[in-house]
């Protein structure tokens, strides 16, 4: 398992310069508004997303990369059995990869993604899909709108 952290940035070039120095490594993927580092020590999948964030901060989402689609399902079942509401995105194209994933939100609305990457893709999101359907490839304000109504009422208590 590898920890995943995705942050929003205003300039991919400036951020890449900084994170190359911080991690002492080159990104494994760079696209016009996206970059991804895979760090071995500590195990970290770190991605940069060019997004407007104003007062919403830089955090895009957190997550765990797992080793199989079966592990994604195991996480979903465990979280659902624990009473958490999950959102499935199986066989989705997002962040220039084909993935099976689920999402869950913490009480403050922070998105956690559990995902398995099946293959690389030339597209940020599937060309035939609506960009708003994926929490990962959606600007932060739209991601918060995707939080289930039941969770929003829990969050407001």
Exposed, middle or buried by CB within 10 Å (0-12, 13-18, 19+), for 138?
buried
The answer to whether residue 76 scores a pLDDT higher than 90 is: yes
Of 73-82, 101-110, 143-152, the range with the lowest mean pLDDT is 143-152
Determine the Cα–Cα distance for residues 138 and 51; give it in Å rounded to an integer.
9
Q: What is the pLDDT of residues 10-22, one digit of tens each?
A: 889 999 999 999 8
**Extents of the domains making up the chain:** 2-155
Strands 2-9, 44-50: pairing is parallel
Q: What is the pLDDT of residues 27-59, one digit of tens each?
A: 999 999 999 999 998 899 999 999 887 766 788
Selecting from 3.40.50.300, 3.10.180.10, 1.10.540.10, 3.20.20.370, what CATH number does the domain 2-155 have? 3.10.180.10
pTM of the shown model:
0.69
**Which position has the token pair 């500590």?**
42
């Amino acid at each position: 398992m590898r920890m995943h952290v995705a942050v929003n940035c205003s300039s991919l070039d400036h951020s890449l310069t900084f994170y190359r120095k911080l991690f002492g490594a080159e990104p494994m993927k760079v696209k016009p508004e996206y970059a991804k580092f895979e760090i071995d020590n500590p195990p970290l999948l770190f991605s940069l997303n060019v997004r407007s964030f104003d007062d919403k901060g830089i955090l895009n989402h957190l997550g765990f990369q797992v080793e199989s689609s079966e592990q994604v399902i195991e996480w979903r079942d465990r979280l659902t059995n624990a009473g958490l509401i999950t959102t499935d995105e199986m066989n989705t194209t997002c962040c220039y990869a084909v993935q099976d994933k689920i999402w869950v939100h913490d009480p403050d609305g922070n998105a956690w993604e559990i995902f398995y990457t099946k293959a690389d893709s030339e597209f940020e999101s599937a060309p035939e899909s609506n960009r708003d359907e994926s929490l990962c490839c959606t600007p932060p304000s739209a991601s918060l709108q995707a939080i289930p109504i039941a969770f929003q009422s829990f969050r407001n208590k």
